[in-house]
Amino acid sequence: MAEVVGPKSMPNFTSEWDGKPMPLWREEAKSPVMHGLLGVDLEKPAGEYEWKVSWAGTDGAAQSCEMKITVRTGKFPTERLKVEKQFVQPDPEQEKRAAEDQKKMKAIYDTVTPERYWDGKFRLPLKDVTTGGNFGRRRILNGESRSPHAGVDFPAMTGTAVFASQAGKVVIAENLYYSGNTVVIDHGYGIYTLYAHLSEIGVKPDEMVKAGEEIGKVGATGRVTGPHLHWGLTINHARVNAMQIAQRQP
Ligand SMILES: [Zn+2]
């Protein structure tokens, strides 16, 4: 969580994290405090990166302020799983579908909605759960190395209700090759939550949902070893551990 305290009006204010725009918001229009979430992708190499804010001073001259932030290497276990062959060696047709899904997701994450749809804390997406696992695990599927696990898994029975973590706008509500029946919610300011492998989808694209509203049911669609909910959190393209947003007020 990043915070900037300054005059109520900072003309031409911009914020950049590692050279890319990082949006900040004010809790109230007149508040002198701005907040932002500084997302560190799970595959970001260790090193020092810069967070920089710039604005125009009272005399109109450009002002800026930088801060170095150290990213350390995360320690994640490796696991070996067995899944259906088509999810490790897709045929050309399936490969094409997966590539199209990826393109669609990228276009969504490239969009930063300059509006705060959420209000209050983000909640876990299932009732009566307090822990979720597997974030960051390095994965070997059917003996082949694959990208690390970018979400949090909650084992649950097929048909268990899945709830929106916070208010937002549904931007994906369809079947995708690897993540099966998938819902993605745009919460604004580059913050997105994803709910994958659903047996049923209960919302439609462009629909506004409230925090805690039911959006679908747990299932085992797509690349899975059994029924569970895969919950993802993306902050300005960075795939981060969703459990962390449920532990504090963004
Ligand atoms: Zn998962």
What span, in angstroms and rounded, lies between the C-alpha atoms of 188 and 39? 14
Residue 85 has pLDDT above 90, yes or no: no
CA of residue 144 to ligand 1 center, whole Å: 17
What does the block give as tokens for 140?
Answer: 């070997």
pLDDT range class, residue 9, cuts 50, 70, 90: confident
What does the block give as tokens for 129?
Answer: 């759960």
CA of residue 44 to ligand 1 center, whole Å: 20
CA of residue 230 to ligand 1 center, whole Å: 4
CA of residue 57 to ligand 1 center, whole Å: 47
What span, in angstroms and rounded, lies between the C-alpha atoms of 110 and 114? 13
The contacts of residue 89 (CB under 8 Å, 6+ apart) are none
CA of residue 137 to ligand 1 center, whole Å: 10
Q: Report the amino acid identity of residue 221.
A: T
Q: Kindly state the average pLDDT of the residues 78-89.
A: 86
CA of residue 208 to ligand 1 center, whole Å: 25
Residue 153 has pLDDT above 80, yes or no: yes
pTM reported for the whole predicted model = 0.93
pLDDT range class, residue 183, cuts 50, 70, 90: very high
What span, in angstroms and rounded, lies between the C-alpha atoms of 105 and 192? 11
The pLDDT, as a whole number, for residue 146 is: 83
The gap from C-alpha 224 to its chain's centroid, in whole angstroms, comes to: 20
Residue 55 has pLDDT above 80, yes or no: yes
The pLDDT, as a whole number, for residue 80 is: 87
pLDDT range class, residue 242, cuts 50, 70, 90: very high
Burial (0-12, 13-18, 19+ Cβ within 10 Å), 125:
buried
CA of residue 116 to ligand 1 center, whole Å: 27
Instruction: Give residue for tokens 């983000």.
Output: 122
The pLDDT, as a whole number, for residue 83 is: 85
pLDDT range class, residue 208, cuts 50, 70, 90: very high
Pairing of β 25-26 and β 33-36:
antiparallel
Please answer whether residues 160 and 205 qualify as being in contact, where contact means their C-beta atoms are separated by less than 8 angstroms.
Answer: no
The pLDDT, as a whole number, for residue 20 is: 92
Backbone angles phi, psi at 150, to 5 degrees: -95, 5
